[in-house]
């Protein structure tokens, strides 16, 4: 899970976005999203991962 979170954060940085901008694009609570993206073993729900990947793909 740490690898997934690291990859998502790296893609986020490459896009020039921060967690706040990502949350706004996803229409998601930025506080909760920030907790999901902490580099730990706590899993991110697959529906959230899919939304993040959709936003980062655009």
pLDDT in tens, 34-53: 999 999 999 999 999 999 99
pLDDT at position 58, please?
86
Closest CA relative to residue 20, chosen from 31, 7, 8, 36: 31
Range 8-27 average pLDDT: 96
pTM of structure: 0.89
Beta-sheet strands, E only, within the chain: none
Average pLDDT, the chain: 95
The CA-atom distances, in angstroms, between 58 and each of 3, 17, 30, 32, 51 are: 22, 12, 19, 22, 11
CB 12 within 8 A of CB 18: yes
């Amino acid at each position: 899970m740490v690898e997934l979170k690291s990859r998502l954060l790296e893609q986020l940085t490459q896009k020039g976005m921060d967690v706040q901008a990502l949350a706004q694009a996803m229409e998601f609570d930025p506080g909760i999203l920030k907790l999901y993206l902490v580099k730990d073993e706590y899993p991110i729900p697959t529906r959230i991962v899919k939304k993040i990947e959709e936003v980062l793909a655009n």
